[in-house]
Amino acid sequence: MCTPRAGSACSWRSTAKQISWRAPTASAPLPARWPCTWPPPRRASCPRARSRPRSARQSCACCASRPLPRASPSRSRRRWPRVACASGSRRACCSASATSTRTSTAARPSRICAPSWRPTPARTWSCAASRASTWERGSPVEPVFSRILLKLSGEALMGGLDYGADPDRIAAIAGQVKHVADRGVEVAVVVGGGNIYRGLAGAAEGMDRATGDYMGMLATVLNALALQDALEKVGAVTRVQSAITISEVAEPYIRRKAMRHLEHGRVVIFAAGTGNPFFTTDTAAALRALEMRAEAILMAKNGVEGVMDADPKANPGARLIAEISHREALERDLRVMDSTALSLCMDNKLPIHVFNTDDEGNIDRIVCGERVGTVVSTE
């Protein structure tokens, strides 16, 4: 027992080390009596009635402190995972422990607290019934073609103008092509140049036919660049390939390279026809479609619904032919395409869909299997 003195420090002697405290300052005066005992007295308690308190950290770490017994050396070692305690109480600690493989099933470790789990997303099953239900809900229809070639005449790009290319018409066509390409359909385009120059018109005025045809090829390059610009503005990746070398503005035509462009989802525009005089862009369209292994040719006409039984300009009562064969179109001279291109399509059984560009959405309707305009196919 140590009794401090007023204004002095309280100290006692110990066998280990002398410890002293300084007197408190004036702001904290020392109490009148300060009983100092060492060691402090403990409450009388029965060791059987009261267990040693354990903190939450010790209770949760009970699994980590226990050594894991080894399994039989003759069999593979097996360890149970240690699961973290999800509760802070004493009884919520995890009691997962490893046991020997020789123990029974009832003696296997049990987990008091359940481990954390994550909800798994529900599976989506694809079947014919689900596809039918999406059709009834009005979802987009799957295309029937995987690769097409679109033939755009110069007049189709001219729109309502008397000369040149109409920007609004080109933008509308570019939007349709982009929509079809977004469906996963590979699109190649062949453009004409009749809205700027025709080689036949130059030859009729006394110009050399080959020279006039080369001038017409340059006109198709102008239309191809205008269409490329419109397609890129709507987000379609486009490549222009020319049959005559104009490396500053277009790639040279290489069949395998064009195929790779289509496989990567790019729109390929073929300009300059076949690169040879005396061949029209219709023949170039048939040739490129066969080289690209296209499944169909889509021929866009300006102001004409399809193949008519007579010239609608000369005969206002001309009727639309919904379906016709290549041979019949040649025999009746309906001028769907020039005879060289039509014969090439007939020999290779390549179908042709003739439609009007004035009706927006016709390209998408044809791609989705809807009958639009005239279908020219093999018997």
pLDDT reading at 43 higher than 90: no
CA distance 85 to 115: 8
* Tokens, residue 239: 């490549």
pLDDT reading at 286 higher than 90: yes
The pLDDT tens digits for 18-35 are: 444 555 555 555 454 555
Which range is least confidently modeled, 12-16, 178-182, 340-344, 349-353? Answer: 12-16
- Residue 204's identity, in one-letter code, is A
The model's confidence at residue 98, banded by pLDDT at 50, 70 and 90, is: very low
Which range is least confidently modeled, 106-120, 212-226, 302-316, 360-374? Answer: 106-120
Q: Which residue has the higher pLDDT, 246 or 314?
A: 246
pLDDT reading at 10 higher than 80: no
Residue with tokens 């189709």: 156
* Tokens, residue 287: 């040739």
Which range is least confidently modeled, 105-114, 166-175, 252-261? Answer: 105-114
The model's confidence at residue 315, banded by pLDDT at 50, 70 and 90, is: confident
The pLDDT score that the predictor gives to residue 87 is: 44
Q: Which residue has the higher pLDDT, 128 or 266?
A: 266
pLDDT reading at 322 higher than 50: yes
DSSP-derived secondary structure letter, 377: E
Domains delineated in the chain: 139-377 (3.40.1160.10)
pLDDT reading at 374 higher than 90: yes
DSSP-derived secondary structure letter, 305: -
Sign of CA dihedral 312, 314, 316, 320: negative
CA distance 122 to 141: 25
For the chain, give the percent of residues with pLDDT over 90. Answer: 50
Which range is least confidently modeled, 31-45, 168-182, 214-228, 241-255? Answer: 31-45
* Tokens, residue 271: 């300009």
Beta strands in 272-349 (DSSP E): 297-301, 323-325
Residue 148 dihedral angles phi and psi, to the nearest 5°? -130, 165
Q: Which residue has the higher pLDDT, 64 or 181?
A: 181
Assess contact for 241 and 270: CB atoms under 8 A. yes
Mapped to the 3 state alphabet, what secondary structure does the chain carry? Answer: CECCCCCCCCEECCCCCCEECCCCCCCCCCCCCCCECCCCCCCCCCCCCCCCCCCHHHHHCHHHHCCCCCCCCCCCCCCCCCCCCCCCCHHHCCCCCCCCCCCCCCCCCCCCCCCCCCCCCCCCCCCHHHHHHHHHCCCCCCCCCCEEEEEECHHHHHCCCCCCCCHHHHHHHHHHHHHHHHCCCEEEEEECCCCCCCHHHHHHCCCCHHHHHHHHHHHHHHHHHHHHHHHHHCCCCEEEEECCCCCCCCEECCHHHHHHHHHCCCEEEEECCCCCCCCCHHHHHHHHHHHCCCCCEEEEECCCCCCECCCCCCCCCCCECCEEEHHHHHHCCCCCCCHHHHHHHHHCCCCEEEEECCCCCHHHHHHCCCCCCEEEECC
Q: Which residue has the higher pLDDT, 193 or 22?
A: 193
The pLDDT score that the predictor gives to residue 196 is: 92
Q: Which residue has the higher pLDDT, 333 or 16?
A: 333
pLDDT reading at 118 higher than 80: no
The pLDDT tens digits for 224-269 are: 999 999 999 999 999 999 999 999 999 999 999 999 999 999 999 9
The pLDDT score that the predictor gives to residue 37 is: 54
CA distance 315 to 317: 5
Residue 158 dihedral angles phi and psi, to the nearest 5°? -75, -30
Beta strands in the chain (DSSP E): 11-12, 19-20, 147-152, 186-191, 238-242, 251-252, 267-271, 297-301, 323-325, 352-356, 374-377
pLDDT reading at 165 higher than 80: yes
The model's confidence at residue 192, banded by pLDDT at 50, 70 and 90, is: very high
The model's confidence at residue 36, banded by pLDDT at 50, 70 and 90, is: low
Task: Please give the average per-residue pLDDT across 353-368, as a whole number.
Answer: 93
The pLDDT score that the predictor gives to residue 303 is: 81
Task: Please give the average per-residue pLDDT across 146-156, as a whole number.
Answer: 95
C-beta contacts of 203-209 below 8 A and 24+ residues apart: 209/277, 209/278
Q: Which residue has the higher pLDDT, 209 or 95?
A: 209
Task: Please give the average per-residue pLDDT across 325-350, as a whole number.
Answer: 93
Cα 121 to the chain's mean position, in Å?
A: 21
* Tokens, residue 111: 């987990």
The pLDDT score that the predictor gives to residue 379 is: 67
Closest CA to 191 of 150, 152, 230, 238: 152
